[in-house]
Amino acid sequence: MEATVKVTKEMKGNVCTLRVFGILDFSTMEPFVKEVQSIEYEVSKVIVDFEKLEFIDSTGIGAIINLVHAANSKKFTVEFIKMGEEIMELFDTIGVFTIMESLLEKDRDSFV
């Protein structure tokens, strides 16, 4: 079975919610990257919902870090919701939260 990802985008005012379904890896990250690139400057907050994310590899985490860089340059905040324990531990181990703290100047608790 081929790895797939689906990303849905919902706008409510200036808040953009990205819901990630399936597997976010080197072979599937393009839909996520396109949604991140399409975020307008008017957006004040991006919420990433990981409830249906089954797997993420280092390339997928790189795409998440690119979102953090976009947040820094476009001046919006990022919040992760419904993260499973494994994904949270992986983000912590790789340093995603540290990067977010550094670039977005907020503490870890404000991201999850």
Tell me the residue type at 72.
Answer: N
The encoded tokens of residue 73 equal: 């340059």
pLDDT band at 104 (very low <50, low <70, confident <90, very high): confident
DSSP E strand boundaries for 1-112: 5-12, 15-24, 45-56, 77-81
pLDDT band at 3 (very low <50, low <70, confident <90, very high): confident
Over residues 28-47, the pLDDT tens digits come to 999 999 999 999 889 999 99
Question: How far apart are the C-alpha atoms of 100 and 108, rounded to whole Å?
Answer: 8
Q: Are 59 and 90 in contact (CB under 8 A)?
A: no
